[in-house]
Structures are given as structure tokens and as C-alpha cells.
Amino acid sequence: MATSETDRSHLSPGAQMLVWVDEKVFKIESIFNLTSAFLILFLMFLAVFQVVGRKVFNMPVPGYVDWVEFAMAIFCFLSIAYTQKLGGHVRMEFFIGRFKGRLLWGLEAIGTMIALFIISVLMWYAYTHFLRAWTIGDTSMDIELPIWPGKILVAFAFFSLNIRLLIQLAGFGRLFVHPDAEPIGVPVIETVVEQAQKEIDTGLAGEKEKVDIVSAGGITQ
């Protein structure tokens, strides 16, 4: 949840700083996520060229499997911080969703600290794998693509996820101290009814935007 520019006046300086950092980091995460989306689109076109080239012209894409493996290492990891921001990952809320207030935020903070430790370990080993691939000149088996760019991107993706987790840890810590404060930079557990209402509101907002565009077009004609 992000507080808009017009709603910041009632927040403390620390909360305003948290909102600012959350928004700036989310813009970067959105660029990473968009990059992953374009990469998936590229793989779809590549698969079409592979099938048509092999079946029709007997000319498959050279190193098709290598390219797919290289791309998967990027789009599978580059958008994980974006997913963490939106709470789009699988969350085991059956247990933790039963709690409220300071206990809930304390448990969320503990879980975030555990995640920070695990991701930090994974980031370190991903970086060591990059160094090894860089040192020995590791390549793919078919067209000998260098493997190190994909491995350094994995380490970078874990680094960006750690930044997101640090923001969420600060948000959960703030809520632990002030349980009644507005959540900032943290995923909020929603009931089924709340999720359904949000989807309805999003759909209605989209329909209203379409109507406004059509109306504006009619006026300008």
C-alpha cells in the first residue's frame, strides 16, 4: 500500500521518508517487471520462429534451447521484488491471518527477517557462481553463450529483493510500534470479500476510463 502525495501531510517525517523510498524503489521494480514481460514476449516470437523454421523451411533457430535457458534465468528472477511488493507470491495466511494488531505485525517482521537471511545467503552463492563462471569462461553447450550474465542478474535480482524486504521490515517495525498507523510499504492481508471488492472496483474504474475516452473522442470530433 502506498500513500499518495496529497495524503502525506498527516504522516511523521519518518513515515514520509518510508513512502518516498517505497515509491522510488517500486518504479525501479516496475521497470524490471516490464523487462521480464518483454522478454517473455520475445521468447513467444522465438518459439514461433523455431516451429515455423523447422517445419516449413527446415531451418531451426540456432541455439534455441540455449537462448531459452538464458532468458529463463532472467525473467524468472528479475521480477521477484515486484511480486514481493504487491504480495503476489504465495503467502501462508491461514495461520497468521488469525492475528491482529501488534502480534500480527511482529510475526510479519520475524518472517521478513528470516526471508532477509535466506535471500542474503542465496545472493552470496549466486554471486560466487557468477565469479566461477566468469573465471573459467563457462558457456552453454550448443552455441557457447557466456553464462555469467545470467548468473550476475540472478544475484542482482536477489539484491533488489533484499532492498524490498528491508523496506517491508521497516514498515512492519513501524506498525509494531504503532499498530493503529496506516500500513506503508507492506502487503496487507485481505479477506475474500475485500479481494472481490477490489477486483470489482478495478473493473469499474477501467470501464469508466473507457467511457471517458469515448466521450472525449466524441467531443473532439
Do residues 153 and 129 touch, judged by C-beta distance below 8 A? Answer: no
Q: How far apart are CA 79 and CA 157, in angstroms?
A: 8
b/e code 185-219 from CB counts within 10 Å (16+ = b):
bbbeeeeeeeeeeeeeeeeeeeeeeeeeeeeeeee
Q: How far apart are CA 56 and CA 126, in angstroms?
A: 41
Q: How far apart are CA 170 and CA 99, in angstroms?
A: 20
Q: How far apart are CA 102 and CA 174, in angstroms?
A: 10
Q: Is the pLDDT of residue 219 over 50?
A: no
Q: How far apart are CA 111 and CA 186, in angstroms?
A: 13
Q: Give me Rg for the CA atoms of the chain.
A: 22
Predicted confidence (pLDDT) per residue in 77-123, tens digit? 888 998 888 877 666 666 676 778 889 899 889 989 999 999 999 99
Predicted confidence (pLDDT) per residue in 48-85, tens digit? 988 998 888 888 888 888 888 888 878 888 889 988 88
| pLDDT score recorded for residue 22 | 92
| pLDDT score recorded for residue 138 | 82
Do residues 186 and 4 touch, judged by C-beta distance below 8 A? Answer: no
b/e code 34-56 from CB counts within 10 Å (16+ = b):
eebeebeeebeeeeeebeeeeee
For 130, the grid coordinates are 557468477
| pLDDT score recorded for residue 1 | 44
Scan for cell 521497516, then name that residue.
Answer: 170
Beta pairing partners, 146: 139
| Extents of the domains making up the chain | 12-189, 192-221
Q: How far apart are CA 99 and CA 105, in angstroms?
A: 9
| pLDDT score recorded for residue 181 | 86
**Lowest pLDDT segment from 138-142, 168-172, 176-180, 192-196:** 192-196
